[in-house]
Amino acid sequence: PSTSFLPSPSCSRSKSHFCFIALPALFKQELENTEAEEGGTTTLRCELTKPSAPVEWRKGDVTLYPGLKYEMKQQGCAAELVIHDLEPDDS
């Protein structure tokens, strides 16, 4: 498998140590608008260029956390946000 690492220009190297920086994960498939009924459940999906890249779900400036309302799933390059008990404020 190929690795997405590049040497960092700000790192010094010696015979036994190398510094690397990872390329950022990008969106292969961005979120799309979806319609759902009030009180129902909807799933938002995106696909990243790197598997298991850390994902933070946000609504505006607010970070979302797993609980009764939100469920986060991630498998490989695919990340999903499930929103339960939809309300007009969820739009």
Residue 3 pLDDT grade (very low, low, confident, very high; cuts 50, 70, 90): very low
Cβ pair 77, 49 in contact under 8 A = yes
pLDDT (mean) for 6-21: 58
Whether residue 90 lies inside any domain: the answer is: no
Domain extent for 37: 27-83
d(CA 79, CA 60): 18
Q: What is the CATH number of the domain that holds 78?
A: 2.60.40.10
d(CA 20, CA 51): 19
Whether residue 76 lies inside any domain: the answer is: yes
pLDDT tens per residue across span 34-89: 889 999 999 999 999 988 888 899 998 899 999 999 999 999 999 999 999 999 99
Question: Residue 66: its pLDDT value, please?
Answer: 95
Whether residue 36 lies inside any domain: the answer is: yes
Domain count, the chain: 1
